[in-house]
Amino acid sequence: MSGSKRHVRSELYIGVMSGTSLDGVDAALVDLRSRPVLLGTVFLPYPRALKTALLVLQTPSRNELHQTALIGNRLSRLYATAVGRLLRECRVAPRWIRAIGCHGQTVRHAPASGYSVQVGSPALLAQHAGIPVVADFRSADIAAGGQGAPLVPAFHAAVFRDSRVHRVIVNLGGIANVTDLPRRGPVRGFDTGPGNVLLDAWIAWKGGKDFDRDGRLASRGQPLEPLLRKLLADPYFRRSPPKSTGRDRFNLAWLRRFDVAGHKVEDVQATLSELTARSIGRAVAAFCTGAREVYLCGGGAQNSDLLRRIGQTLPKTSVASTAQLGILPDWVEAMAFAWLAQRRLRGEAGNLTGVTGAQRARVLGAIYSA
């Protein structure tokens, strides 16, 4: 990208996203003058020690307040490194960026108790990057009685909705969520349950790998129907939206309660892939009646085994990647937080009450000056 003066006048934002999968940091440079345009991307994997430390924070531990602060600082320095690399690769100066929208790393999500915790130090990120940061996107929605999640459906509605066809967007992150985009009327969205989180946890435990690349292990196995029925009996799957969940509920400890260790590794992996697919398929059938097109985004959209299973659960709809709609699936969430940062600076609501269940629309996020 050249350094012409037109970029000073443009609405350039950076979205920084680190999701439930704990794989690393996505940073996206987005032009938001009109329809969002992706100008550049950077991905930085988590160092092993940082990922391990973040996993420890998922459950109560000794001296966790001190550790949370220290890990938040480490994480924010990694965010700053990603932002710096993105700016260099795109040949953009920090002064041309209106703001960074930074989600932070969720370590506890408990809207029923009135909070959701995202680790990170937005002030430190602003200091290192030399760019204002918008963070803490969930608190205002939760204060208004909402789930504080999912937040990306508002962005999905802004960029993917079509008045000619009923669409559904499925985000396959650590946790999966759907956004129902009817041709007209209110938008709904909610977390369906596990996306990649259990798939990753199982192969890490049994295979020493971070994830099942392209679903190769799952494709060699056979779903264990008795086990699958037990997994699908979890009350979360029967709840009506609005609803949200996280690693707090669906984790390796939850999975081990079902005596999975005695089964073949590939069969459990296939069962977990089927769990993700069927919970999504059932959610779309129950709450997105009439949908004709389903588009997938998130890291799980690279898993061909999972995509095949999702397609089988939705035989009456076409299933494709959001790349068909002009945005590569890996970068939808990072772009969404750039867009939410712009909404915050403009004083515009970022939540959808039909998604989160909040009592009213709220401007989301807190601003940290550079």
Q: Check: CB of residue 168 under 8 Å from CB of residue 180.
A: yes
* pLDDT, tens digit (0-9, with 9 covering 90-100), for 162-195: 999 999 999 999 999 999 999 999 999 999 999 9
pLDDT confidence of residue 5: 43
pLDDT confidence of residue 50: 94
Average pLDDT estimate for 193-218: 95
pLDDT confidence of residue 349: 97
pLDDT tier for residue 325 given thresholds of 50, 70 and 90: very high
pLDDT over 60 at 312, yes or no:
yes
pLDDT above 70 as % of the chain: 97
pLDDT tier for residue 20 given thresholds of 50, 70 and 90: confident
pLDDT confidence of residue 8: 45
Per-residue 3-state assignment (H helix, E strand, C coil) for the chain: CCCCCHHHHCCEEEEEECCCCCCEEEEEEEECCCCCEEEEEEEEECCHHHHHHHHHCCCCCCCHHHHHHHHHHHHHHHHHHHHHHHHHHHCCCHHHEEEEEECCEEEEEEHHHCEEEEECCHHHHHHHHCCCEEECCCHHHHHCCCCCCCCCHHHHHHHHCECCECEEEEEECCEEEEEEECCCCCCEEEEEEECCHHHHHHHHHHHCCCCCHHHHHHHHCCCCHHHHHHHHCCHHHHCCCCCCCCCCCCCHHHHHCCCHHHCCHHHHHHHHHHHHHHHHHHHHHHHCCCCCEEEEECHHHHCHHHHHHHHHHCCCCEEEEHHHHCCCHHHHHHHHHHHHHHHHHHCCCCCCHHHHCCCCCCCCCEEECC
pLDDT tier for residue 30 given thresholds of 50, 70 and 90: very high
pLDDT over 60 at 25, yes or no:
yes
pLDDT over 80 at 346, yes or no:
yes
Residues contacting residue 266 through CB under 8 Å, at least 6 positions apart:
217, 218, 220, 221
How high is the mean pLDDT of the chain? 95
pLDDT confidence of residue 22: 86
pLDDT confidence of residue 9: 55
pLDDT confidence of residue 242: 96
pLDDT over 50 at 3, yes or no:
no
* pLDDT, tens digit (0-9, with 9 covering 90-100), for 64-86: 999 999 999 999 999 999 999 99
pLDDT confidence of residue 61: 82
Residues contacting residue 131 through CB under 8 Å, at least 6 positions apart:
14, 83, 94, 97, 99, 100, 370
Pick 284 or 55 by higher pLDDT. 284
Residues contacting residue 159 through CB under 8 Å, at least 6 positions apart:
35, 36, 325, 327
Which of 155, 163, 196, 198 has its CA nearest to residue 179?
155
Average pLDDT estimate for 40-68: 92
pLDDT over 80 at 10, yes or no:
no
pLDDT confidence of residue 174: 94
pLDDT over 50 at 308, yes or no:
yes
